[in-house]
């Protein structure tokens, strides 16, 4: 049994002239408007919250007070005075204590003074309080282990997260890992598409396994040799013609030098023969030259055609070699990207496993951070229904209560909840051994509801 409130005395506050009450585990002041039920709750809240609330003093009274006794012997006394500052005292076994407000703050957390106030907070404020109430961290060595399978640059990008609550740290690490995996998957798809395009663009050289560079060089060498042979043959034909010409010229010269008539006659015959032979020699020379030219050009044109084919294929081969180099580079990068994706997927699993092990054993299970939003069992905090938020508020109250704290929560305007949510809240509070004080708008005479059966709860349902 935890620390509880066992006695309440209220004088001249709100609609209450004097009220003495011995609380139970469930304490709801029920009744119509202006009968003091809200004054009962506000007096309790004022006793713990501190500050000056002159507006709470009953009309016509100069001062009012609230006195609260706890099961460990503490007594809290707060007096509100219309013309003066309030007085706060804390007694322990009848002895006045020093620093009373510090003692009060240590007995009851500000969160539990007004549960409904927390329900009205913004989602970010709720999330901050949840994480404050459940401090969890990820040690640096665990961060290093989670990213140990990754390259050094990725380890830095994922593991270099700001210190903070484990939920935030793991969520940020997971987001960075997921984003990197998405980038690497996108890069792998790009590289794969590039490889396919490069292979489709691969030029096809002539069939066979020729080295077209060697073919081109050999053809050019053959062309040069044939051109040289052609030149030699032409020189040979011209040399033969020169020999005949020289011979004929020599004979003519000899005839010119002869003085006798017989030799002159002979000379005329020689000249006639010379002229015929010379003409024949020229004809033979021109014919041989033309035949040789035709043969040479035919051979040369064939070689040149072969050279053109070889040159075109050599260019294709050179381009193909460049594409093969690009394909090899892309395939290497693709393997690296696929390995990175695999390592990142393993890291995601490690982070999820670590987070599950950490949070499944946490006081509030099912917590996670997704895109900066706190979720509970996959449901965004903003989407939790009233019953879920109320049960969560009791979990938080339990977490924030130390062994020597009052196990007490205060909730006003309880009628704002439907009957099922009221029942669920009371049942959850009793299961957690939390004393509940509340106000409830109801028909009939003013009364204090302390029996669980008022909400249809039987002892077996509440552990008693």
Shared-domain flag, residues 218 and 125: no
Q: What domain count does the chain have?
A: 2
Within a domain: 21 = yes
Shared-domain flag, residues 314 and 426: no
Q: How many helices (H) and strands (E) does the chain have?
A: 12, 13
Shared-domain flag, residues 319 and 404: no
Within a domain: 129 = yes
Within a domain: 348 = no
Shared-domain flag, residues 404 and 314: no
**Domain ends where: 342, 375, 404?**
342
Q: DSSP labels for 74-142?
A: EEEEEEEESSS--EEEEEETTEE-SSHHHHHHHHS-HHHH-HHHHHTS-HHHHHHHHHHHS-----HHH
Express as a percent the part of the chain with pLDDT over 70: 80
Residues 279-313: pLDDT tens digits? 766 676 667 667 666 666 776 677 677 777 777 77
**Domain ends where: 342, 367, 399?**
342
Shared-domain flag, residues 12 and 129: yes
Within a domain: 361 = no
- In this structure, are strands 74-81 and 63-70 parallel, antiparallel, or unpaired? antiparallel
Strand ranges across the sheet with 379-380: 367-370, 373-376, 379-380
Residue 296 domain boundaries? 212-342
Within a domain: 165 = no
Residues 94-151: pLDDT tens digits? 899 999 888 888 888 777 777 777 778 888 888 888 888 888 889 989 999 999 989 9
Q: Give, in order, the Cα–Cα distances in Å from 14 to each of 46, 48, 71, 370, 409.
A: 12, 17, 26, 46, 21
Q: With H, G, I as helix, E, B as strand and everything else as coil, classify residue 201.
A: coil
Shared-domain flag, residues 332 and 390: no
Is a pLDDT exceeding 50 seen at residue 460? Answer: no
In 3D space, the residue among 115, 125, 5 whose CA is nearest the CA of residue 417 turns out to be 115
Within a domain: 33 = yes
Average pLDDT over residues 252-264: 62
Token duo for residue 207: 């069939």
Q: Give, in order, the Cα–Cα distances in Å from 344 to each of 142, 286, 337, 408.
A: 16, 85, 10, 47
Highest averaged pLDDT of the listed ranges 62-66, 320-324, 368-372? 62-66
Shared-domain flag, residues 335 and 391: no
Q: Give, in order, the Cα–Cα distances in Å from 60 to each of 12, 15, 46.
A: 9, 11, 20
**Domain ends where: 281, 315, 342?**
342
Is a pLDDT exceeding 60 seen at residue 458? Answer: no
Within a domain: 217 = yes
pLDDT of the residue at 329: 94
Shared-domain flag, residues 21 and 84: yes
In 3D space, the residue among 41, 68, 55 whose CA is nearest the CA of residue 412 turns out to be 41
- Going by pLDDT thresholds of 50, 70 and 90, the confidence category of residue 464 is very low
C-alpha torsion angle, residues 196, 197, 203, 207 (rounded to 10): 20
| Helix H or strand E segment including 315 | helix 261-360
pLDDT of the residue at 211: 63
Within a domain: 284 = yes
Shared-domain flag, residues 392 and 293: no
CATH number at residue 106: 3.40.50.300
Instruction: In whole angstroms, give the CA distance from residue 114 to residue 412.
Output: 7
Token duo for residue 202: 């691969």
- Pick the more confident residue, 36 or 175: 175
Shared-domain flag, residues 230 and 335: yes
Q: Give, in order, the Cα–Cα distances in Å from 301 to each of 223, 229, 312, 313.
A: 9, 15, 16, 18
Q: Give, in order, the Cα–Cα distances in Å from 210 to each of 156, 252, 302, 309, 321.
A: 51, 62, 19, 12, 14
Is a pLDDT exceeding 70 seen at residue 260? Answer: no
Contact (Cβ atoms closer than 8 angstroms) between residue 367 and residue 139: no
- Look-up: residue for tokens 């490690």? 350
Shared-domain flag, residues 422 and 336: no
Instruction: In whole angstroms, give the CA distance from residue 316 to residue 56.
Output: 97
Residues 393-418: pLDDT tens digits? 888 888 888 778 888 988 877 777 78
Shared-domain flag, residues 97 and 41: yes
């Amino acid at each position: 049994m935890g620390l509880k409130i066992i006695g309440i005395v209220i004088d001249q506050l709100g609609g209450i002239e004097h009220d003495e009450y011995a609380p139970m585990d469930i304490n709801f002041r029920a009744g119509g408007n202006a009968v003091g039920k809200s004054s009962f709750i506000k007096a309790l809240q004022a006793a713990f919250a501190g500050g000056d609330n002159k507006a709470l003093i009953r009309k016509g009274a100069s001062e009012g007070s609230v006195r609260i006794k706890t099961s460990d012997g503490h007594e809290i006394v707060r007096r509100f005075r219309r013309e003066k500052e309030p007085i706060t005292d804390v007694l322990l076994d009848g002895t006045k204590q020093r620093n009373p407000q510090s003692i009060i703050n240590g007995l009851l957390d500000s969160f539990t003074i007004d549960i409904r106030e927390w329900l009205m907070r913004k989602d970010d404020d709720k999330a901050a309080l949840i994480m404050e109430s459940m401090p969890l961290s990820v040690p640096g060595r665990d961060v290093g282990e989670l990213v140990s399978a990754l390259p050094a640059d990725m380890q830095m990008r994922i593991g270099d997260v700001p210190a903070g609550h484990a939920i935030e740290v793991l969520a940020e690490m997971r987001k960075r890992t997921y984003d990197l995996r998405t980038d690497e998957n996108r890069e792998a798809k790009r590289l794969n598409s590039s490889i396919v395009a490069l292979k489709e663009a691969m030029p096809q050289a002539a069939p066979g396994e020729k080295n077209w560079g060697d073919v081109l060089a050999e053809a050019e060498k053959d062309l040069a040799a044939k051109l040289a042979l052609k030149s030699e043959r032409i020189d040979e034909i011209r040399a033969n013609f020169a020999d005949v010409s020289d011979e004929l010229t020599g004979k003519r010269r000899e005839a010119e030098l002869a003085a006798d008539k017989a030799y002159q006659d002979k000379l005329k015959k020689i000249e006639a023969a010379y002229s015929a032979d010379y003409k024949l020699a020229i004809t033979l020379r021109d014919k041989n030259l033309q035949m040789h030219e035709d043969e040479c050009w035919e051979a040369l044109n064939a070689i040149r055609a072969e050279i053109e084919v070889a040159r075109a294929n050599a260019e294709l081969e050179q381009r193909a070699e460049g594409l093969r180099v690009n394909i090899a580079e892309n395939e290497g990068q693709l393997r690296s990207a696929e390995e990175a994706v695999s390592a990142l997927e393993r890291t995601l699993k490690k982070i999820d496993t670590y987070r599950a092990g950490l949070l499944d054993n946490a006081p509030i299970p099912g917590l996670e951070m997704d895109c900066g939003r706190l979720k509970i069992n996959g449901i965004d905090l903003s989407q939790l229904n009233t019953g879920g938020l109320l049960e969560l508020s009791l979990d938080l109250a339990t977490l924030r209560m130390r062994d020597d704290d009052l196990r007490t929560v205060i909730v006003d305007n309880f009628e704002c909840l439907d009957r099922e949510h009221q029942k669920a809240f009371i049942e959850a509070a009793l299961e957690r051994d939390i004393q509940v004080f509340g106000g409830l708008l109801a028909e009939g005479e003013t009364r204090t509801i302390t029996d669980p059966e008022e909400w249809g709860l039987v002892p077996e349902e509440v552990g008693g």
